[in-house]
C-alpha cells in the first residue's frame, strides 16, 4: 500500500488543508500519515534548521489519520468537563465508525481509551449506535424514499410526546439497560400517542418472541411508521446519563400507573352496587394508600 505523508504548515490554514486532503484521498486505499513537527512552522523550515536525517525520523513517527483527527479534536475540548467529554466521546465514535477494518478499529479503541481515560465499553457502545443508525437508514431507504408527515394528536402535550419518543429511543438504542426496567413499569394504558402505543406494543410482542431489536424497522411495513421510528432514532434527546434518563421515565410512569389505578377504584366505588362490604373496604384502603403515596 502506498504511503502519503501530510506535513502542511502548523497554522489554521495548514490544518484545514490536511483535513481537505484526507477527505479527497480517504477512499483511494492510501496509507495516510500526518507529520508532528516541532520547532518549525513548516517542513521546509524544519529541514533547513535540523537537516533531512532528523526529518526522516519524524516521518517514522508520523501518526495515522485517525490519531490525528482525535488529537485535533482534543485540542478544542476540555475533557475534564462532563459536557465536553460526552461530545469528545460522540465525535470519537463518529471517527472510528468510519474505520472499516475491525482489527484496526479495535487497536484504536484500546489506545484511545488508555490515552484519554475513557471506558473502552463506552466507546464501543457509541460506535455500535452509529453502526445501528446507519443500518436503520439503509433499511429505510430500501423501503421508501417518500417523506411522510406523521399526524400526532394535538391534545397530547409536547412534554408527553417527547417522553414517549425517548422511551422508544432508549428501548432501541439501549435495549440491555432499558427493557427489563421499562416493561415492569410502563403500561400501554399510560401511552397517550396512538402511534407510540402501536410501536411499543409491537416491540413488546416481538421481544417476547425472542426477536432481535436490531431488526425493529423490519417489524413495520407501512411507510408512515418506518419514517416515524427512523426520525426517533435520528433525534438528539440530549441524554447525558442513560441511567438517570431511565430512572426519570420510571418515576413518571409509576405515577401514571397510580393515577390510572386511582381512577379505576373511584369508578368502582361510584358503582358499588355489585361490591360486597369486604371488597369496598379493600378498595378504599388501596385508594387511601395511593393518595398518600402521591403526596411524597
pLDDT digits 0-9 by tens, 31-62? 777 777 777 777 778 888 888 888 888 788 88
Least confident span in 5-9, 92-96, 227-231:
5-9
Q: Is the model's pLDDT at 272 over the cut of 90?
A: no
Closest CA to 230 of 296, 140, 135: 140
Instruction: Note the pLDDT of residue 233.
Output: 85
Least confident span in 51-55, 91-95, 144-148, 246-250:
144-148
More confident residue, 225 or 38: 225
Instruction: Note the pLDDT of residue 146.
Output: 43
Burial of 14-35, coded b for 16+ CB within 10 Å and e otherwise, reads ebeebeebbeeeeeeeeebbbb
How far lies 89's CA from each of 69, 78, 122, 288, in Å? 13, 12, 8, 48
Q: Is the model's pLDDT at 152 over the cut of 90?
A: no
Instruction: Note the pLDDT of residue 201.
Output: 93
Q: Is the model's pLDDT at 136 over the cut of 60?
A: no
pTM: 0.47
Tell me the three state secondary structure of residue 264: helix
Instruction: Note the pLDDT of residue 82.
Output: 78
197-207 pLDDT, tens digit each: 999 999 999 99
What is the average pLDDT score of the chain? 79
Q: Please say whether the beta carbons of 109 and 96 come within 8 A.
A: yes
Q: Return the residue matching grid coordinates 495548514.
A: 14
Amino acid at each position: 500500500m502506498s504511503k502519503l505523508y501530510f506535513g502542511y504548515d502548523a497554522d489554521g490554514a495548514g490544518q484545514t488543508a490536511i483535513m481537505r486532503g484526507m477527505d479527497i484521498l480517504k477512499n483511494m486505499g492510501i496509507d495516510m500519515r500526518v507529520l508532528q513537527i516541532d520547532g518549525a512552522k513548516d517542513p521546509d523550515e524544519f529541514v533547513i534548521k535540523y537537516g533531512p536525517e532528523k526529518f526522516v525520523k519524524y516521518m517514522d513517527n508520523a501518526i495515522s489519520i485517525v490519531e490525528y483527527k482525535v488529537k485535533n479534536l482534543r485540542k478544542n475540548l476540555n475533557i475534564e468537563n462532563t459536557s465536553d467529554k460526552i461530545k469528545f466521546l460522540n465525535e470519537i465514535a463518529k471517527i472510528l465508525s468510519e474505520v472499516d477494518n475491525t482489527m484496526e478499529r479495535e487497536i484504536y479503541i484500546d489506545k484511545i481509551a488508555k490515552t484519554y481515560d475513557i471506558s473502552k465499553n463506552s466507546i464501543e457502545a457509541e460506535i455500535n449506535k452509529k453502526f445501528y443508525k446507519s443500518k436503520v437508514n439503509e433499511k429505510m431507504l430500501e423501503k421508501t424514499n417518500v417523506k411522510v408527515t406523521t399526524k400526532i394528536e394535538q391534545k397530547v402535550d409536547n412534554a408527553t410526546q417527547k417522553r414517549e419518543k425517548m422511551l422508544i429511543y432508549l428501548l432501541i438504542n439501549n435495549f440491555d439497560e432499558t427493557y427489563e426496567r421499562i416493561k415492569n413499569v410502563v403500561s400501554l394504558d399510560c401511552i397517550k400517542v396512538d402511534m407510540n402505543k402501536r410501536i411499543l406494543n409491537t416491540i413488546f410482542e416481538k421481544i417476547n418472541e425472542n426477536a432481535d431489536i436490531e431488526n425493529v424497522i423490519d417489524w413495520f411495513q407501512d411507510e408512515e411508521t418506518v419514517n416515524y421510528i427512523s426520525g426517533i432514532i435520528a433525534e438528539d434527546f440530549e441524554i447525558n446519563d442513560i441511567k438517570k434518563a431511565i430512572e426519570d421515565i420510571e418515576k413518571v410512569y409509576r405515577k401514571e400507573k397510580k393515577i390510572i389505578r386511582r381512577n379505576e377504584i373511584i369508578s368502582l366505588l361510584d358503582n358499588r352496587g355489585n361490591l360486597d362490604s369486604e371488597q369496598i373496604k379493600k378498595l378504599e384502603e388501596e385508594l387511601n394508600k395511593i393518595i398518600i403515596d402521591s403526596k411524597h
